[in-house]
């Protein structure tokens, strides 16, 4: 199969960050903080009244957290370590939401000690721990919702049924906690605005059944980014969410909205600069391109080819000849294969640069600490605009 670069040009990343300048040794993830700020501003415009809690797990780099904190963003944290990172970067305790319901009494005590007072929960056991370690704290009960359309769904790990949510809200109230509202997550890289609308309908029915006012409705993260295929703009998701809230929470009962975006704010800010360690045609007749970064160097989301990063090389250009390749990582592990077939320039050679675009989310935070003696993924932050501009 031969395809031309015109096909690639058609889908060229628009608004690519300035962070494509050569970063020195590879692999290296270069993050453009100006893009992070721009995505945050777009989200604020799409959902003007919503609290925004950036999901730190997506990219916990201090400069990223600092840029968002300076812009007034809150943080979705999943452990005491993430709480400390968010606070050190300028986040405020009252703008943190501890959204991981899997935690120990020591984790809850540490969070409360830091002044965190908003927790997401999905079990009676966790509520007991919260009532003990963070008395009086506000809780959001996480619903399990339909995640059809998500590229990386949660597989049933979190959330509870509507009936259980009602009893958890009542349990929270009777154990001295503040049953502030409900939350859900429609699965990451979720392409269907209707996924949020459907989940909001479920949340409204739970609120009615519990007979409690939902003060906060946390509609989670999941907002998609254009990897190899276009996705609707964030404004479309915002409009679907606001319309569903108006429809299902009519009148004065409308809750305050919260969102927990991860991928949306940081993916397109990152370019992962890599190099081809080896390009060779193997006995299977296929061209194998081995990069110096792979599944264990931060590309965990290529498992099952769930996330398809767009690739760029110095050979790209009008009319360049492309040929199929298997793209693999550098380690001695057989699972370290990223894509079974991608189109790359036929002229690509060992040592050439390969860039993975929109790679700022769930890469550095997933990189192993030293598998095969390889160091964790290096990260460099740049600011193509400057915070004041």
Ligand X SMILES: Cc1ncc(COP(=O)(O)O)c(C=O)c1O
Chain residues binding ligand X by CB under 6 A are: 55, 57-58, 76, 99, 185, 188, 220-223, 260-264
For residues 112 and 83, is the Cβ–Cβ distance under 8 A? no
Nearest residue (CB) to ligand X, 76 versus 292: 76
Position closest to ligand X via CB: 221
Q: How far is CA 71 from CA 58, 236, 250, in A?
A: 18, 23, 31
Min dist. Cβ of residue 110 to ligand X (A): 18
Cα separation, 72 vs 54, whole angstroms: 11
Nearest residue (CB) to ligand X, 76 versus 383: 76
Residues present in the chain in total? 389
Nearest residue (CB) to ligand X, 306 versus 326: 306
Min dist. Cβ of residue 296 to ligand X (A): 20
Active site annotation includes 97: no
Which tokens belong to 93?
């305790």
**β-strand partners of 178:** 138
Q: Which residue has the tokens 């692999």?
A: 27
For residues 268 and 15, is the Cβ–Cβ distance under 8 A? yes
Nearest residue (CB) to ligand X, 153 versus 330: 153
Nearest residue (CB) to ligand X, 52 versus 377: 52
Nearest residue (CB) to ligand X, 160 versus 264: 264
Min dist. Cβ of residue 218 to ligand X (A): 9
For residues 379 and 64, is the Cβ–Cβ distance under 8 A? no
User: In b/e form, how buried is each residue of 209-242, taking b as 16+ CB within 10 angstroms?
Assistant: ebebebebbbbbbbbbbbbeeebeebeebbebbb
Catalytic residue among 28, 73, 160, 332: 332
Cα separation, 374 vs 72, whole angstroms: 37
Q: How many CA atoms does the CB half-sphere of 362 hold within 13 Å?
A: 20
Nearest residue (CB) to ligand X, 223 versus 227: 223
Instruction: Name the helix (H) or strand (E) containing 164.
Output: helix 162-174
Min dist. Cβ of residue 374 to ligand X (A): 25
Which parts of 175-304 fold into alpha helices (H)? 193-210, 234-248, 263-266
Q: How far is CA 368 from CA 332, 373, 377, in A?
A: 14, 10, 8
Min dist. Cβ of residue 220 to ligand X (A): 5
Output the CA angle 105-106-110, nearest 5 degrees: 120
Cα separation, 153 vs 159, whole angstroms: 12
The helix/strand count (H/E) of the chain reads as 10, 19
For residues 137 and 118, is the Cβ–Cβ distance under 8 A? yes
Min dist. Cβ of residue 229 to ligand X (A): 16
Residues with catalytic roles: 332
């Amino acid at each position: 199969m031969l395809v031309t670069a015109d096909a690639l040009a058609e889908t060229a990343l628009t608004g690519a960050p300035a962070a494509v300048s050569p970063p020195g040794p590879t692999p290296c993830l270069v993050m453009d903080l100006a893009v992070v700020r721009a995505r945050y501003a777009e989200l604020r415009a799409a959902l003007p009244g919503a609290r925004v809690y950036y999901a730190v797990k997506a990219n916990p780099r201090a400069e990223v957290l600092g840029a968002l904190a300076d812009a007034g963003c809150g943080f979705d944290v999943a452990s005491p370590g993430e709480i400390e990172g968010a606070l050190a970067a300028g986040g405020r305790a009252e703008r943190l939401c501890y959204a991981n319901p899997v935690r120990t009494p020591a984790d809850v005590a540490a969070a409360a000690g830091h002044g965190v007072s908003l927790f997401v929960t999905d079990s009676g056991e966790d509520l007991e721990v919260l009532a003990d370690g963070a008395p009086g704290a506000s809780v959001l009960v996480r619903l399990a919702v339909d995640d059809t359309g998500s590229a990386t769904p949660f597989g049933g790990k979190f959330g509870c049924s509507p009936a259980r949510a009602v009893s958890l809200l009542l349990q929270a109230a009777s154990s001295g906690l503040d049953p502030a509202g409900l939350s859900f997550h429609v699965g990451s890289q979720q392409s269907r605005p209707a996924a949020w609308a459907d989940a909001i309908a479920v949340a409204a029915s739970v609120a009615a059944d519990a007979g409690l006012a939902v003060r906060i409705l946390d509609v989670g993260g999941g907002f998609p980014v254009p990897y190899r295929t276009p996705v609707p703009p964030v404004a479309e998701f915002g409009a679907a969410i606001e319309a569903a809230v108006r429809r299902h929470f009519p009148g004065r009962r409308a809750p305050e909205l919260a969102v927990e975006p991860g991928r949306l704010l940081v993916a397109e800010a990152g370019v992962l600069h890599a190099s081809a360690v080896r390009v060779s045609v193997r006995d299977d007749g296929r061209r194998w391109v081995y990069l110096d970064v792979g599944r264990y160097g931060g590309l965990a989301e290529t498992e099952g080819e769930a996330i398809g990063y767009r690739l760029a090389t110095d050979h790209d250009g009008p009319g360049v000849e492309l040929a199929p390749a298997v793209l693999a990582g550098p380690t001695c592990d057989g699972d370290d294969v990223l894509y079974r077939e991608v189109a790359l320039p036929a002229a690509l050679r060992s040592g050439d640069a390969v860039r993975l675009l929109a790679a700022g989310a769930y890469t550095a935070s997933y990189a192993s600490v030293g598998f095969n003696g390889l160091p964790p993924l290096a990260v460099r932050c740049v600011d193509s605009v400057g915070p004041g501009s």
